[in-house]
A = this chain, B = another copy of it.
Amino acid sequence: MKEMPGKAAPETPPTAGRAAVVLLSGGLDSATSAAWARREGYRLSALSLDYGQRHRCELDCARAVAGTLGITDHVILPVDLAAFGGSALVDQAIAVPKGRSDEAIGQGIPITYVPARNTVFLTLALAMAETRGAGALVIGVNAIDYSGYPDCRPEFIAAFTHLAQLATKAGVEGRPFEILAPLATLSKAEIIRLGLDLGLDYGLTSSCYDPDAAGRPCGACDSCRLRAAGFAAAGAVDPRAT
């Protein structure tokens, strides 16, 4: 937080005690955004979705991250997006692309895109937030190193915020609903530096789309490559690297 000139820094953040639901996938970005929200003083509940992802070990990572951040209200909700098919991340019949060129990553929408995934995630977090009386959602979307998914863009977040105001009891009763996307404009290296400053242990997080049975990353999918490039640019060592 920036200090205002001529004004003492507040002892507690202005958001202290406000309730928020954080989407916690178990990956690097969501763990960083959760650590950021805790630093900002939000009282956090966490939601993880068990959506038939082939990288299911990330749910164990989500539990570990929630534990290390002291989040005790953590719901892991099954929602079987695999029933619809159509993505390499949920459909075992479609191969995860490996070893794509840096130019190819981020160009177009890849086969690892899960249909309407962030919309589904934010919507379920919104439902959870209503039952908790929470006025904010925290999501680790990022529009810089984002693999080309349409539902990571700032205009998507703005549209969802507008929808949330109209869709909920809280909005109707005049309480505003905020969607916090603290990583939206950060590069992967900046995200990693932020998390390290916050004392986050990235060894607890998993980013790989196609880990082995022990949860070890493949090192070759788009997500592993973006992570490795981010750690390199941040001048840091990834505790979970292959």
Contacts and interface: CB of A to CB of B under 8 A. Distances in A.
Given A79-B79, A153-B166, A127 B116 contact: yes
Contacts of A130: 84, 86, 115-116
A173 B108 CA distance: 10
A88 to B, nearest CB: 13
Task: Please report whether the interface of chain A is mostly helix, strand, loop or mixed according to DSSP.
Answer: helix
A109 interface: yes
B109 A119 contact: no
This chain: copies in complex: 2
A85 interface: yes
A164 B128 CA distance: 21
Given A115-B131, A116-B124, 4 more contacts: A79-B124, A84-B127, A151-B168, A162-B163
A212 interface: no
Contacts of A115: 126-128, 130-131, 168-169
A80 interface: yes
A84 B156 contact: no
A116 B165 CA distance: 11
Interface in A4-58: none
B78 A80 contact: yes
A131 B86 CA distance: 5
Interface in A75-99: 75, 77-81, 83-86
Given A162-B162, A169-B115, A75 B79 contact: no
Nearest to A87: B131
Contacts of A172: 109, 150
Interface string A154-176: 01100110110011110111000
B167 A156 contact: yes
A73 to B, nearest CB: 11
B168 A116 contact: yes
B119 A167 contact: yes
A159 B166 contact: yes
A123 interface: yes
Q: Please name the 9 residue pairs, one residue from A and one from B, whose CB atoms are nearest each other, closest first.
A: A86-B131, A115-B130, A116-B127, A115-B127, A159-B163, A123-B123, A150-B172, A84-B131, A119-B167
